[in-house]
Structure formats: C-alpha cells, structure tokens
Amino acid sequence: MLRLLRLVRVMFCALVLGSASGAGAEVAVNIHYLKQIVPAPPTLSNLDPIPEDLGLRGAELGLEDNITTGRFLGQSYSLTVTEVAEDQDFAEVTRAALAETGLLVLDAPLAQVLAAADLPEAAEALLFNAGAADMALRSAQCRARVLHTLPSYAMKADALMQFFVTRRWDEIALIAGDRPEDQAWANTLETSARKFGLDFGARKTWAFDADMRRNASQEVPLFTQDLGDYDVLLVADAADDFARYISFNTWRPRPVAGSEGLRPVTWHRVVEAWGAAQLQSRFEELANRPMQDRDYAAWAAVRAIGEAVTRTGAADAETLRDYMLSDAFELAGFKGRPLTFRSWNGQLRQPIPLVHERALVAQAPLEGFLHQRTELDTLGLDQPESDCTAFEN
C-alpha cells in the first residue's frame, strides 16, 4: 500500500443572489482537509464501528454552510480532500497541499500534526488540528500556526470533575487500559480530579485479554472488588475496547464515567438545545449518520474560516489568523455560547456536553465554576497552566 489515496472533491459556487453588501468583493477560499488513516486497534466488540468518513463529513457540512453564506457576499469556497495512507509520509503530502493553499484542516495524530506544522512552507499558513486531543499540542509542543478545534483531554476531564464536585461524588476510583493512549487519558483524569480537590483512590490497569462479551459478569466484579469504596468509577479506554463491559458489573453498585456511562464529548446526537437540532438534522441529511466528535471539530474549523472570511473579506491565512485570535471573532457553534480561541495556545473554547447514550446529562462549565475571564476557561489548560510560548509576541 505505497499508494497515496487522494480524493479531490471540489465544490464551487459562484452564484450571487441579490446585491451583496458588507464585506463584499470577489473572494475565493480554498480549504484543504487532510486525514491520516490510522488503523483502529482490535476491540472486544464491533457494535460501533468507526465511520470511514468520520471528520470528513463535518468538513463538508462546514463547506456547505460557508457556501450558502458566501453566495450573498460574492465569496466562494472550495474543499480539497486528501486521505493519507498509513504508510505514506504525512508531511510530504502536507507540503504539496501547502503549495496550493495556506488553509489546512488536519485530522491526524500528534506526530503528524507536528511534522506538518514544522514544515518551512507552513510558516505563514493556518492549520487546524481537528483530530488530536493531546495536551502537549496545547502546551510545550504548541505551534503558532496551529489552532485546535477539537477539545483537549484536559477540557473533557475537567468537565467531568465539575460534575462530580457538583454532585458531591468526592471519592474516585479508576481503571485504565494498558495502551499508551489509555494511560495518557487516565493520567489526565487523575490530574484533573486532584485539581478539583476530589479524593482520588485506587487505580488499576485492565490487562486482561479474555473475551469479555462472554464473561464480563464473572470477571468485572472480581476485578473491581479490591478498589475499596468510592462514589464513581472512572474508565479510561481510548479505543473503546473493554469499557462497555464495566457498567452494572462492578463489585459495588456505582456509576461509571469517562469512556463509558457518563462521557464528556465534543458533540453527540443527544445534544439538542441552542439550535443544535438544526445542525444535527443537516448533518444527518448529508452523512446518513449522527455527528460525532471529530465531525464537529472539522465542521468548526471550516466554519471558523468562513466566519473570519465573512467578517474580514480576506482569504489569506495571516489576516484570518489575526482575526480569529482577536476579540472580535466569535463562532456560533450550537453550544449556547459564542466560541472563541485562546490567545495563549490556539485552543477553541467550548462547552463540553456530558452525555450518556440516551440523553444529555449536563453541559460544562457547570454553574458555580467561576473564572475572571470566562467560565469556559475553567475547562482545560488555562493560561498559567499552559507551557505554550509560541503565541507570545
């Protein structure tokens, strides 16, 4: 498979209806969406396969939204899509993309995002990270030209902890998978629990390889028996491998949260308020499936570009980046508040829905968690917590 999978879909709209006023003039905006194909690790259940077009459909919906707005202003948008095969060099593909446009949306793991951002050609481009939740990208390994529309693990962990504090579920136990991503997510949860003053107790690693569909009822009670007492059990299972078998099988009857049970998400089909129902139905119509986290992150990236183009009338990466990082920028993201970018690390501030499969439970930031700037900054790396310096100057 030394083959570059390159799909190019160009949508173009030059139709101008009525007279255009506001930030008008003819502007053509090309956005390139690059997705690194990452094979999913084997999981115990195949009940919820990861859609192959995850992320991509969000970018396409964002493009449609931009085109509809642009046609009243003489502004046109196009989207180029490239899927990078597993053994392909992501940086080289990015280099080729940068020769055509300075506006990229990346759906890729941390290493690929860094490789792309460190290309000399990217020095004046604007890259959106819509696929990597790693805290390092928002801290010591941040890059000045990379903005993040996907929330970090820290934002999600903080959202959960605010809920526990509110409900006075003070004592926490945790089980995590043995993959590096599981441990990273578990570490983030533990750090967050301590930050919010919760009592973090036992932590165990799930290292079984049994087929839990058959004997979860026998294994999980035993496995959780020595966790001691706790109010809520956190499960850190980034690949969605074993988490689904934990609920109702714990030794003590306790709620489960994290990768199962009560989950902090970027987006989920149960999110309905604040006009979200409209976004959901437009997405369903386009993709024939519910919108997920990375769809939302890609949508938000393309829409952020659209919003900045609408307001500035410009299409160059420099002007758009300056505008997005200014106080004037705000994105209507169907989460009940305007979304803005953090000036110190380029993270898109956003509420985090806490959901179970059937309903929205709460949306963080929860009432009572205050911040001098905005309550949204009670989630994730606040300015003093981030080691990012690339945005200073």
Partner 1 sequence: MKLPILTTLTAALMCSAAWADEIWVTNEKDDTISVIDIETLEVVRTIDTGERPRGITFSKDFSVVYICASDSDAVQVMDPDTGEILHDLPSGEDPEQFVLHPDNRHLYIANEDDAITTVVDTETRTVVAQIDVGIEPEGMAVSPDGKIAITTSETTSMAHWIDTETQELFANTLVDSRPRHAEFVKDGTELWVSSEIGGTITVFDVATQTEKAKIDFEVANIHPDRVQPVGFEFTTGYTHAFVALGPSNHVAVVNAETYEVEEYILVGRRVWHMDFNRDRTQLFTTNGVSGDVTVIDVASRKPIKSIKVGRFPWGAAFRPTD
- Where does this chain bind partner 1 (CB under 8 A)? 17-23, 65, 68-69, 72-73, 275, 278, 281-282, 307, 310-311, 330-332, 336-338, 374-376
Nearer to partner 1, 322 or 375 (CB): 375
Report in angstroms how near the CB of residue 352 gets to partner 1 at its nearest. Answer: 15
Nearest partner of 130 among 344, 325, 347, judged by Cα: 347
Nearer to partner 1, 234 or 376 (CB): 376
Nearer to partner 1, 19 or 46 (CB): 19
Tokens (6 digits) for 156: 């999600």
Report in angstroms how near the CB of residue 284 gets to partner 1 at its nearest. Answer: 11
Report in angstroms how near the CB of residue 218 gets to partner 1 at its nearest. Answer: 44
Report in angstroms how near the CB of residue 161 gets to partner 1 at its nearest. Answer: 21
CA–CA separation, 177 vs 235, rounded Å?
Answer: 8
Nearer to partner 1, 73 or 364 (CB): 73
Q: How far is CA 93 from the centre of its chain?
A: 23
Report in angstroms how near the CB of residue 72 gets to partner 1 at its nearest. Answer: 4
- Please, which residues have CB within 8 angstroms of residue 373's CB and are 6 or more apart in sequence? none
- Please, which residues have CB within 8 angstroms of residue 113's CB and are 6 or more apart in sequence? 106, 127, 129, 131, 132, 137, 146
Report how far apart, in Å, the C-alpha atoms of 54 and of each of 73, 165, 292, 297, 299 are. Answer: 30, 33, 8, 10, 11
Q: What letter would DSSP give residue 262?
A: B
Report in angstroms how near the CB of residue 271 gets to partner 1 at its nearest. Answer: 16
Nearer to partner 1, 93 or 304 (CB): 304
Label residue 194 left, alpha or beta by phi (over 0 means left) and psi (-120 to 50 means alpha).
Answer: alpha
Report in angstroms how near the CB of residue 370 gets to partner 1 at its nearest. Answer: 9
Nearer to partner 1, 252 or 282 (CB): 282
One-letter amino acid for residue 132 of the chain: A
Query: What is the maximum span of the chain, computed from C-alpha positions, in angstroms?
Result: 71
Nearer to partner 1, 209 or 327 (CB): 327
Nearest partner of 160 among 342, 5, 380, 336, judged by Cα: 380
CA–CA separation, 237 vs 215, rounded Å?
Answer: 19
